[in-house]
Amino acid sequence: MNTRNLFSALRVPSGTRSRVFWAGNWVCRSCRTKHPSRARPLSSSSSERKPYYITTPIFYVNAAPHVGHLYTMVLTDILKRWQVLNGEKAILCTGTDEHGMKIQQAATKANIPPKEFCDITAETFKSLAKRAALSNDYFVRTTDEDHKEAVQYFWHMLRERGYIYESKHEGWYCVSDETFYPESTIEKRLDPFTGRTFMASQETGKEVEWTSEANYHFRLSAFKDRLLEFYKKNPEFVVPATRMNDVINWVSEGLEDLSISRPVERLTWGIRVPDDETQTIYVWLDALINYITKAGYPWAPGREQTGGWPADVQVIGKDIVRFHCIYWPAFLMALDLEPPRQILTHAHWTLGHQKMAKSTGNVVNPFFALDRFGVDVMRYYLAHDGGISQDSDYGNRFIVERYKKGLQGGLGNLVSRVTRPKIWSVRKSVEAASVGALREPDESTTKQINMLESLPEKVSLKMKQLNPGAALQIIMDAVYETNKYLQFNEPWIRAKKETDQEAEQKHIERTIYYSAEAIRITGILLQPYMPDKASQLLDMIGVDKSRREFKDTLLGADKTYGDAAAPLGKGAWDSLFPPLSVEN
C-alpha cells in the first residue's frame, strides 16, 4: 500500500471516534500537577449557572490597530454590557494573536526579537481596549504560558484520537493570510505600480508562493457530515444568515484535510508540536484555542461550564469566517467539546470606499479618533453606522452629522428642554404620576405611551438578533419622537397662560412626565453604548444607581427620580453634548 492509500485507510469516518494510533509521553507542565481529565462533553448535571461568555477575535500584532479593530471591540462590549444590564453574569475575552510567519517577518524587518516586537504591539491593543472603555475580563496573549500549554494539550488529545497524521504537503501558501489555497482559487495578477506579475488568492488578492513541505495534517475531511448536521440543527449559528449560507455551501462542496504545522526551519516563531521539535503548530490552530484557554481548558471533571464555555457569542470580522465557522467547530467536535452557540460576523469599515487594511496603510488611527471626538461619541458612531451585513464608509463628517443630529440636537437637546426650565418640576411631575394625578392622555400622549411601552421589547429583540446597530436606531427614534411630542404640546407656552391655570398645570405635568420617562428609559438602554454619557444623563434626572437595569425600563417602574444629582448647566457649552470644537 502506498503512502497516500495508507493515510486514506486511516481516515476517521464521519461521526465516529477513532482508535488511538499514537500515544506519546508528553504532558503539559500544569497538567502534571492539576491532573485534568480528558477533554469531554459538557456536563448537564452541573448545578452552577454558566456565565454568559463573549469574545472578540484575538488581534494580530504584526501592525498597529486601526478603527476596524475598535469597532469589533465596541460591538462585543455592547453585547456584554447588555447582558449585565439584564442581570446576567457575563465574561468578555479579548487579546492578541502573536505567532506565525507574518510576526516573524515583521520582527525581522524591525530588527528586534519576536517576543519584544509582540510585547510592544500587544500593549498597544491593550491600551486601545482600555481607552475604548472595554469591560473585558481577560486579555489573552498567545505567548502566555497557560495558553501555550492548553494548545499543546489540545494537540496531544487530537493526535491521541487519531485526527492528526504526517504527510508531505504541496500547495499555494499565502504568508499574509497564513493559509494554503487550492489551485482553483489562484490567479495571476499584475502589480500596476511595478509591472510585476504574481500569483494571488482570488479571495483576498494577496500574493501566494508554491510551497512543498512535510508537516502534520488534521482530518478536516472527516467532519463534513457532522458539520452539516450541526448547521442544520443550529440554523442561527452564523449571523447574518447570508454568511451562514456561505458556510454551508463551502462545507457541502467538500473539505480537504488541513495542514496544521510548519517546519521549524521555515517558521521558528510559534508553539512547538509536542514531542516533535522540528515542527511549529499552525498559527490558526494555536490562535483559536485561546477562546477555551481563558474559559479554563483543560477542565476538571464537572467544571466545564464554570469559565463560560461554550461561548454564547463570538464576534469576528467577515474575513475570518472560514476559520471560525468551519475549522473551529471541527477542532472542538474532534474532542467532543461543544462549539460556540453563535458567531456574529460583521462587515468591514472602508475609507474612501476601500477596505481598511494595515498592509496598504488605508487606515484610521483609533487613538486619534477617540482623542478628537471622545470615547462615548465614537462608540455611538461605530455602533450606529457600523455594518453587520454591508460595509460602511468611515468619515469625520459622518461623525459630526451623527453627533449634531442624534446626540447634540436629539438626546442632549431633549434633556436640556425637560430638566432646565424653572417653570415646571420633573420631580413634581413624577410624584403626580405616582398618585394617578395626571390629566387623561390625549391622542399625542397615547401615542407617546404606546411608544414607550413597546420600546424595551423592540430593543431587546434586536439585541437577541445580535444587531446592536438596529437596536440603537430604535432607541434614537424614541428620542426624536419625544422631541416631537414635547414640541407639539408646548409646555413652555402653557405655563404662561393666565386662564384655567390648574388645567394647564395638569397638562404640563403630563407632558413633562412622559418626556422624562423617555429620557429615563432611553438613558438606561443607552448604557451599553455610552457608559459615561448615559450615567451622566441618568444623574441629571436623578435616577438612583440601583434603578438602572433593564427591568427598570418599564413605563412607570421608577417613582423616585426627578431631583437632579448632577449639574444641569445653563448654556450650550455645559450641556450633556456641547458643540464640537472641531467639525471638519
pLDDT per position as a tens digit, 530-562: 999 999 999 999 999 999 999 999 999 999 999
Question: Are 138 and 196 members of one domain?
Answer: yes
The predicted structure's pLDDT at residue 47: 54
Last residue of a domain, one of 325, 354, 370: 370
Q: Give the β-pairing of 52-55 and 313-317.
A: parallel
DSSP 159-174: HHTT-EEEEEEEEEEE
The helix (H) or strand (E) run that includes residue 201 is strand 197-201
pLDDT at res. 27: 59
Based on the fold, state whether residues 309 and 430 are members of the same structural domain.
Answer: no
* Residue 29 Cα distances to 148, 151, 251, 346, angstroms: 10, 12, 37, 38
| Range in 28-42, 130-144, 371-385, 492-506 the model is least confident about | 28-42
Mark whether 525 and 442 lie in a shared domain: yes
- 487 with 533, same domain? yes
Judge if 297 and 348 occupy the same domain.
yes
Return d(Cα 167, Cα 215) in angstroms, integer. Answer: 6
Strand partners, 186: 201
Q: Confirm whether 28 is domain-assigned.
A: no
170 & 286 share domain? yes
CB 352 within 8 Å of CB 378: no
Sign of the dihedral defined by the CA atoms of residues 347, 348, 350, 354, in that order: negative
Cα separations in angstroms, 337 against 41, 184, 305, 393:
5, 33, 11, 39
pLDDT of residue 378: 98
Looking at this protein, which amino acid is placed at residue 164?
A: I
Task: Specify the pLDDT at position 149.
Answer: 96
C-beta of residue 272 within 8 angstroms of C-beta of residue 282: no
Average pLDDT, the chain: 89
Asked if residue 562 belongs to a domain, the reply is: yes
Look at residue 24 and tell me whether its pLDDT is greater than 60: no
| C-alpha distances out from residue 46 to 38, 50, 58, 303, 344, Å | 17, 9, 29, 8, 27
Please identify, among 337, 370, 403, the residue that sits at the C-terminal boundary of a domain.
Answer: 370
Collect all residues with Cβ–Cβ distance below 8 Å to 244 and sequence separation of at least 6.
Answer: 231, 235, 236, 237, 238
Does some domain include residue 483? Answer: yes
**Is residue 21, in this structure, part of any structural domain at all?**
no
Does 88 share its domain with 50? yes
Residue 379: CB atoms within 10 A of its CB come to: 29
pLDDT for residue 2 is more than 50: no
Closest to 245 in 3D by CA, of 258, 255, 236: 236
pLDDT in the model for residue 28: 55
- Angle formed by the axes of helices 443-464 and 468-489, nearest 10°: 170
**For residues 451-463, average pLDDT:** 98
**Cα–Cα distance between 340 and 314 in angstroms, integer?**
7
Rg from Cα positions in the chain: 28
Same domain, 326 and 428: no
36 neighbors 300 (Cβ within 8 angstroms) = yes
For residue 386, being part of any structural domain is answered with no
Same domain for 135 and 265? yes
Judge whether 10 lies within some domain: yes
In a domain, 32, yes or no: no
CATH of the domain at 537: 1.10.730.10
**pTM here?**
0.87
Question: CA quadruple 36, 40, 41, 43: dihedral positive or negative?
Answer: negative
| Counted domains in the chain | 2
| 67 and 176 part of one domain | yes
* Residue among 253, 265, 200, 209 at smallest CA distance from 228: 253
Closest by CA position to 219, among listed 153, 150, 167, 145: 167
Q: Which of 309, 337, 370 is the last residue of a domain?
A: 370
Res 547: pLDDT: 98
The range of the structural domain enclosing residue 401 comes to 395-574
pLDDT of 26 > 70? The answer is: no
Instruction: Report CA-CA distances (Å) from 77 to 13, 53, 436, 529.
Output: 40, 11, 40, 8
Residues of the chain with pLDDT > 90, as a percent, come to 76
Note the pLDDT of residue 41. 40
417 and 323, same domain (yes or no) = no
> How many CA atoms does the CB half-sphere of 569 hold within 13 Å?
18
CA 534, CA 403: separation in Å to the nearest integer? 15
Q: Which residues contact 500 (CB under 8 A, 6 or more apart)?
A: none
> Hey, which of 69-78, 99-108, 165-174, 176-185 has the most confident mean pLDDT?
69-78
Per-residue pLDDT reduced to its tens digit, 395-406? 999 999 999 999
In the beta sheet, which residues pair with residue 97? 60
Domain containing residue 101: CATH number: 3.40.50.620
How far apart are the C-alpha atoms of 262 and 416, rounded to whole Å? Answer: 62
Query: Are residues 361 and 429 located together in one domain of the fold?
Result: no
Q: What pLDDT score does 583 carry?
A: 52
383 found inside a domain? no
